[in-house]
Structure 1
């Protein structure tokens, strides 16, 4: 069994193809985008795997996009984002959590913590936080939703939200946060093993952080 991480599918979001040059170039229509995202997901995720979706699965919990949840392999957990109708920042959004769970997410939450697998025998696992939002940074000119962002206490953070703006950044305190959104990972989930190695390579300076802003 493998654990995967992903974010920012934006299923059903036709306007995104206009807002994002990369998405617009990759997908002529929103139907083709949705179909490719489903295909790419199922090409790597097996039925007995677990997938953490770090927000913005769709646009506001529409029936047409939520029906796609059942087409996706794996046990799916949602850490809600600002475009999910169950997000804590949406008025009475908590009432919509059942909508997402009925669609096929086994759990819906605002934040979570997990570990990435050790890279060597007897090495410790790496504790990471999960949120839709990075410690700092946005897909727009200024950081939005400050009240919903986690405080940097030195724990690496996996997130979405920023789309093509950056793949990873280091905070002023030196903490890495990594964008697991589909825009940086071939429009597919990325595995825990890949992220564990990627974080190690970042810490040791083996790879350079990629910033698209």
Structure 2
């Protein structure tokens, strides 16, 4: 069965806090996120995150992830997941969804090797609603299919970069500390997707 992203109506209800993952009418959804930096106190100061402690930051990130993601959903994390394997072990088991990692510059080898990932890559391409979607931790100047409508999703910039057309930073700092569905990405780039169907991916 192909995965689906949230509908725009569902996304609006989730943002308003009136729709839990179990209540939506889509069967399986696909989400994107990046730069959670679980367990890393430096991120609070460098990125000026509104948290008094690492414990508070991690708790909010976990709660907001689980507010929108159901157990059967696919989640693509585009890098900089956690500071250490101990932090990854503590968090991966409580985060909902089938989780894929696109490695970032702050993902230790032990974090990437953790068995909690459905797949680990440095780069990947998927199709969502017949649109090619390019996944990498870093924003590209040019990417495969760029002239034919392909979308580049990335992290690393913490919401401070200047995106090119059809390029979206999916990092938590840019999206109120929660994963996002392709419907929100389509709104951001001005696209009007049809079914939001995402082709199945191999591990």
Structure 1, 45-54 or 62-71: larger mean CA deviation: 62-71
- 1:169 matched to 2:163: yes
- Residue 167 of structure 2 contacts residue 189 of structure 2 at CA under 8 Å; is this kept in 1? no
Match of residue 101 from structure 2? 78
- 1:111 matched to 2:123: yes
- Residue 54 of structure 1 contacts residue 159 of structure 1 at CA under 8 Å; is this kept in 2? yes
- 1:2 matched to 2:26: no
In the TM superposition, what are the counterparts of 1:150-169 in structure 2 within 5 Å?
A: 151=143, 154=146, 155-166=150-161, 169=163
Q: Which runs of 5+ in 2 are unaligned?
A: 1-27, 193-203
In the TM superposition, what are the counterparts of 1:33-182 in structure 2 within 5 Å?
A: 33-59=57-83, 61-86=84-109, 96=110, 99-100=113-114, 102=115, 104-117=116-129, 125-136=130-141, 151=143, 154=146, 155-166=150-161, 169-170=163-164, 175-182=165-172
SS at match of 1:157: strand
C-alpha separation in 2, matches of 1:113 and 1:183: 23
What is the TM-score when the length of structure 1 is the normalising length?
0.70
SS at match of 2:61: helix
Query: Aligned in 2, Cα 1:33/1:105: closer, same or farther, shift over 3 Å?
Result: same
1:98 is displaced (CA, Å) by 6.4
Question: CA offsets, 1:162-185, max 9 Å, x none?
Answer: 00313x611xxxx53110000011
Q: Which runs of 5+ in 1 are unaligned?
A: 87-95, 118-124, 137-149, 203-213
What is the TM-score when the length of structure 2 is the normalising length?
0.73
* C-alpha RMSD of the superposition: 2.0
1:194 is displaced (CA, Å) by 2.1
The count of aligned residue pairs is 162
Larger RCO, structure (CA 8 Å, separation 6 or more): 2
- Residue 116 of structure 1 contacts residue 193 of structure 1 at CA under 8 Å; is this kept in 2? no
1:27 is displaced (CA, Å) by 0.6
SS at match of 1:15: helix
